[in-house]
Structure 1
């Protein structure tokens, strides 16, 4: 009887509760009616929310009678706010359509905290290349869109080669910002360099690119110390259909792409993509100097091509979780600029396999990357090798064959020595990564916990690394991030990460931020630390027969001088910023920052002083001759840590909406540094003098751009003018600088339009260019677009060892079949 009474009381209470409370239910779609899976519906003053299911449906239950402000948000779309009244005992319908964000302040991003977050709430400067930006840019190389972002140093080395740098310290081997794609590293294993054109994803499958300026090491680990570039691809449930695209341009550029995405049922969806692109680089030769004589690069092949494909399978075990499997492949032939001349990339392939689990509170990710090339070679070194044989009477055929591995050193009439000067690069490196993360919130308190593991398995087959038997290095990171949000709009963030590296032990990476909502904007103050762990190439490099050696163990010279092994580079960054709406039509995003960099990793430095009998005798605890047979130690280039440098600057971005279809963008960036020339710890090449050229800042003081966007009906267009102040660039053997006396002795060490060391100096980089693109959507399926880079064919050189960038024209025809519309 007691049990019966208890059941009756429980039933009665449920009935009473149902009569005194109500609920909000509905469906969230995009403007085409396609359900948005995983959209967030949230009542802030109750701290109660829901996530839409496979059909875009949601439900918020047990709500007291009253009126609530409900926000609806989804990554890449504008946030919708609605006032909804709830009546006791009834269901209030809320059906909403979200549009791709036109207002910068409404946009929701994912990268900063690894969870969806309104862009104004992010305690960092964030640039977003949106799905619309990508869709309306008729070129297969969307890297060009980075030129339109504030605070980004965009460079172009040719038709194919584009790259970005963030807040200084650029070089021809630039690893100063971390690049990720769908939560996996997009960096080469041994060098740590961004994959760039080696990426396995195609333009039509990219949903957005989020660029974070400043250190982001707390959640992403080492080497996110100057910035982070995150590429996010499309979910097939929001992008069902088939896309065919063909493109053509000058320089013999041709591209063909296919993407297909389909939802099978409420559990399964899939997508796949394919691309084939090819073209010819500008007619430019990077002269190779043997003494004062210049030679053309041997067997220079200016034709480039890439082929890439990939597929993903999406499985939903429940309404609020998903398992994603991905495999991607790319194969590449092109020219690559390095700090020791150009590389001829030959059939370099990248493969990636990934398995990821995503749910409301838990995230797990594991992936495997492998890299392979057999025939890539350093053009500069191979050309020098070839010349050494030809000039000493060897046949053309023998000189070509031996140029990949050897150099002839004459010792007398008709006699000489064969030196191992390998120009060939082979690679069979692999990398394994795993990550798990938990996030949740309780009222105003938000928690993120995670751990990451990485195992690098480098293998150059002895061609460019000291890697007999391979090199395995692992590192583990554990991180947490805590946020506390007040109704007043004041938010506090505290984060920390502990990283343990096999060679460098434990490092702590903290982050602190305070944000405050002010009217229609957010003010922020942040502190973040970043670290750069030397790459495997920095540590174990063995290039050109020991002329370039990594510094993972330190060196000893004839006189007993010890050269310390490389340590971790650190950066402490302080930033203030504001992102908001100054008027109904004017939006601003601005920041000012101050960075302190320590233990900076130098460019290549010769540590031997053969003229005074001071040779390199040991590498670590081993005799140099035992490690590099035949090496005398008379000339050894390696990497060092040196000194400290403070850098500072500010970025300003303005967007003015003349109308919903017409917008103007203004971006300005200032950057400078403070180098103490009296501190010999800043003497990068150990010659007793601190020179500006030893610190490769390689960044202009001023950058400015002005752009106009027009999008109405079936027509879209954009035009951008970009000014980069002329600046000096030093990277390895590469020099692009004005004539100058570096050490004040009255002699110009750098001479413009003349040979400087082993390269020709064409003068400073930078200048003014105008880019434009336009297109027309004939109907919902067919569109035609045109893109012109360097519209007025201005004579501008953007990178060392690279040609003047001439006008590039790209025409693209695209056909879309939207399955959802046909259902």
Structure 2
């Protein structure tokens, strides 16, 4: 019996084992790694340390299902769930562990258009990794980069946002080059970044790379201010299905699905789709000139759509739709014939059923049924990379009478945008030995706007643009510690004379693998967007009941705008078009030619004004008499002023000072940067960048450019007084009585007539010049330059396996650049804070499968000048104000106040079957501080969103 009992004992206690090997990504064994087997109840069943060769074996493990965890200081924790141990069996679990330094030093591709460690990149690069993206519920990519140093996000609502690097934000901004898997992600001809229109789903994003500073040497036009690159997952490395449901405040609901798989060993595929809905914030008020809050959503929008709006909209109440709706999907197939070749085909589609988007020239657009389609084919064979892609946009309208799509809330005018961009890119790399490497390539871009006579109006059909260029970058290992990077790019734009060159030089000093000092110089360029040349769009009708419209128009390529100066001597010979002259002919900008027409136009009002004091008969006789005389230029002069400044004589324009507007040209930014990136003690990452920029890219949104002509009020009053005395005396009134009547009547008539625009000093272009459209246009700034300085800092500290601390700080030297006046006479502004900071504490308890994130964000106050959205004071120190449509009243936008915001995030991974269910909650601005980040935008409050996500 004892023998039988002794023999049975090992059988009863046998259980099973878990064994394997722990190594680095390069295959180096890691010793003294603590490997734990954790039971379903969360208890540690057994643990061992790995041996010198990295192997380990956990014996005598009871049969069951376990989570196996590998931990070692200096390395990221690794976990394998669902490990099944059977009696007498051995489960094999190998671990590849990443050093913490690898977490702090990820691989990036944006800085040099090839894979490299972030520390090796000769530029400032930040990365938002897949875990942050997965655990933080978000609406657009803008939500993920809000805490990145040097990045400014002006949030216009739940989904609307403008993202730029190092300031100079604008409504309808395309300042930063936004890419998605190496293809452009902006709206084709408008060249605006609308994150809400991007295709694909959040769950498919692998990482977001942000490159601060100029990048034209490699990326060409329109990357002078940085690159934001969204990189999605490969189906080969992300097989399975992910289901996600988000819900939150403002009636937010979002559902998405992503599936990736393989067919054999050489073909991978993925499919994704998402539907999103929410209700945006409503308040978007401004103030009148007395400081009273105006309750309308935007006082620049009429209460009722004007008669010129399409039939289904004209005369109806102008009511914003604050509901947000979006559907998006994407499909991709990857083919890998061998380890050195890859062919990727992608099609993406998104449709915004309803939304709001600010534009600098025309106020807010009500987005309706705007679709975006992207087609891409890219290939990689060794170091040869090539791609072709097409982006197609459709704003939802077929023509200028359609009411089913996107339209402008200030005019009711539908937007037809069926624009397309086609691009082809080729790149190759070549190494000469181990110390010299070249990357070179070429790009071709064709933009084809199709706006149905709306956005580009009368310019439709002559508005295509072609761009092409080539580049080469050399990386030379001068010594063991010094690298020299030099690049040169040459580009041509069919709308601009000549060629654009972009040199880049960087000297990098690396005393060790984890320390990097660099000094760089970049000369980068930007070309004006297509609409800057060809826009032709009514911005506001019958402004202030004046009978005049504001029309935004582009600056003709290679020509610019000139004024007609062939009309006599008044105001330097400036000619005008006037609706009081009975035709569309050029006339002098003097009083003599339009006086009689003005009196005739005012006749009913003048008779009504004078009848109570003079009687109907005498009032009619007096008005008739005033209409039969004509002053000379010496008796009554004129003044020239922009329509929104007409009541302030100090802002009058002398005729000789009204300069022609030159053609738009490429603008250049020259940037000098000194930077440090390093990892200290394998736990602390520090990045500091100091930069000075000579910025020629100071172009401004469209501002008023064709001023109006007005009577000289005092001279007109004096002239009218003399004429009134003579007319009344001729009608039999005694001289004394006539003089008294004239003193009372003349100022009333003069005030009414002097406030009425007599005409418009128009551009010398018979196609566009008329007597009713006041033009706003884009001005050339190629001969202007500003100097701006800044600092960007980022710190990440991995305290232990549980706690990570992060901080950012950015500073820019100037908010207002008074030497550069935009065409609305207000100075150029940064349109972003000159100081911002953030602190983040992340706690992750991997054994217990939960994490907490706390974040503080600070932003200093700042004024804004972005077309029709401007705050602060103009070049003369006067408050920037705008006239309400259909009214003589004015309104003022407030600047953006300083704010401190607090965010909280929580995530927990619950066991669910053989997998895990991710539950996360993210609250932004949890103290509900009402903050407006741009004039015309609503005050943004607290937003709490929760997520349930299951992958299998």
Q: TM-score, normalised on structure 1?
A: 0.77
Q: How does 1:245-644 map to 2 (within 5 A)?
A: 245-285=244-284, 287=296, 298-332=318-352, 333-339=354-360, 340-375=362-397, 423-442=413-432, 443-466=434-457, 467-469=459-461, 471-504=463-496, 505-519=498-512, 520-544=514-538, 547-552=551-556, 553-559=559-565, 562-598=660-696, 600-611=698-709, 615-618=760-763, 622-623=765-766, 626-627=767-768, 631-632=770-771, 635-642=774-781, 643-644=784-785
Change (3 A) 1:590 1:765: same
Paired position in structure 2 for 1:816: 951
Q: What per-residue deviation string (whole Å, max 9, x for no partner) do you get for residues 306-355 of structure 1?
A: 00011001111222101111111000021112223211001000001111
Q: How does 1:11-160 map to 2 (within 5 A)?
A: 97=96, 99=98, 103-160=102-159
Q: TM-score, normalised on structure 2?
A: 0.67
Q: What per-residue deviation string (whole Å, max 9, x for no partner) do you get for residues 645-669 of structure 1?
A: 1111101111122112211111111
Deviation for aligned residue 1:586:
2.4
Count of residues paired in the alignment:
681
CA distance in 2, matches of 1:227, 1:794: 31
CA contact (8 A) 1:696 1:729 kept: yes
Deviation for aligned residue 1:783:
1.1
Deviation for aligned residue 1:685:
2.9
CA contact (8 A) 2:188 2:419 kept: yes
CA contact (8 A) 1:597 1:644 kept: yes
Please identify, of 282-291 and 180-189, the stretch whose mean Cα deviation from structure 2 is larger: 282-291
Q: Does 1:805 align with 2:946?
A: no
CA distance in 1, matches of 2:200, 2:132: 17
CA distance in 2, matches of 1:462, 1:569: 29
CA contact (8 A) 1:513 1:524 kept: yes
Q: Does 1:768 align with 2:907?
A: no
Change (3 A) 1:522 1:454: same
Q: Does 1:657 align with 2:755?
A: no
CA distance in 2, matches of 1:303, 1:760: 27
Please identify, of 199-208 and 602-611, the stretch whose mean Cα deviation from structure 2 is larger: 602-611
Q: Structure 2 residue aligned with 1:684, among 819, 822, 826?
A: 822
Q: How does 1:700-719 map to 2 (within 5 A)?
A: 700-713=833-846, 714-719=849-854
CA distance in 2, matches of 1:101, 1:325: 35
CA distance in 2, matches of 1:167, 1:733: 23
Deviation for aligned residue 1:749:
4.9
Change (3 A) 1:521 1:634: same
Deviation for aligned residue 1:672:
1.5
Deviation for aligned residue 1:96:
7.3
CA distance in 2, matches of 1:729, 1:686: 13
Deviation for aligned residue 1:567:
1.1
Q: How does 1:153-232 map to 2 (within 5 A)?
A: 153-232=152-231
Q: How does 1:781-796 map to 2 (within 5 A)?
A: 781-796=916-931
CA distance in 2, matches of 1:110, 1:562: 45
CA contact (8 A) 2:176 2:223 kept: yes
CA contact (8 A) 1:120 1:579 kept: yes
Deviation for aligned residue 1:98:
5.1
Change (3 A) 1:495 1:563: same
CA contact (8 A) 1:130 1:209 kept: yes
- Structure 2 unpaired stretches of 5+: 1-19, 29-73, 77-93, 286-295, 306-316, 540-549, 567-658, 711-757
CA contact (8 A) 2:815 2:830 kept: no
Change (3 A) 1:458 1:41: farther
Q: How does 1:688-767 map to 2 (within 5 A)?
A: 693-713=826-846, 714-737=849-872, 742-744=875-877, 748-749=879-880, 759-767=891-899
Please identify, of 470-479 and 122-131, the stretch whose mean Cα deviation from structure 2 is larger: 470-479
- Structure 1 unpaired stretches of 5+: 1-31, 43-77, 81-94, 383-399, 408-420, 688-692, 818-823
CA distance in 1, matches of 2:833, 2:409: 40
Q: What per-residue deviation string (whole Å, max 9, x for no partner) do you get for residues 526-575 of structure 1?
A: 11111111111111001117710000241121326532111112111110
CA distance in 1, matches of 2:229, 2:99: 19
Q: Does 1:673 align with 2:665?
A: no
Higher relative strand content: 1
Deviation for aligned residue 1:716:
1.5
Deviation for aligned residue 1:583:
3.9
CA distance in 1, matches of 2:177, 2:486: 22
CA distance in 1, matches of 2:807, 2:299: 47
Change (3 A) 1:525 1:311: same
CA distance in 2, matches of 1:777, 1:665: 23
CA contact (8 A) 1:645 1:675 kept: no
CA contact (8 A) 1:646 1:674 kept: no
CA contact (8 A) 1:106 1:119 kept: yes
Deviation for aligned residue 1:162:
2.8
Deviation for aligned residue 1:446:
0.7
Alignment RMSD (CA, Å): 3.3
Change (3 A) 1:116 1:100: farther
Deviation for aligned residue 1:782:
1.1
CA distance in 2, matches of 1:136, 1:238: 19
Change (3 A) 1:484 1:729: same
CA distance in 2, matches of 1:116, 1:725: 36
Deviation for aligned residue 1:284:
2.3
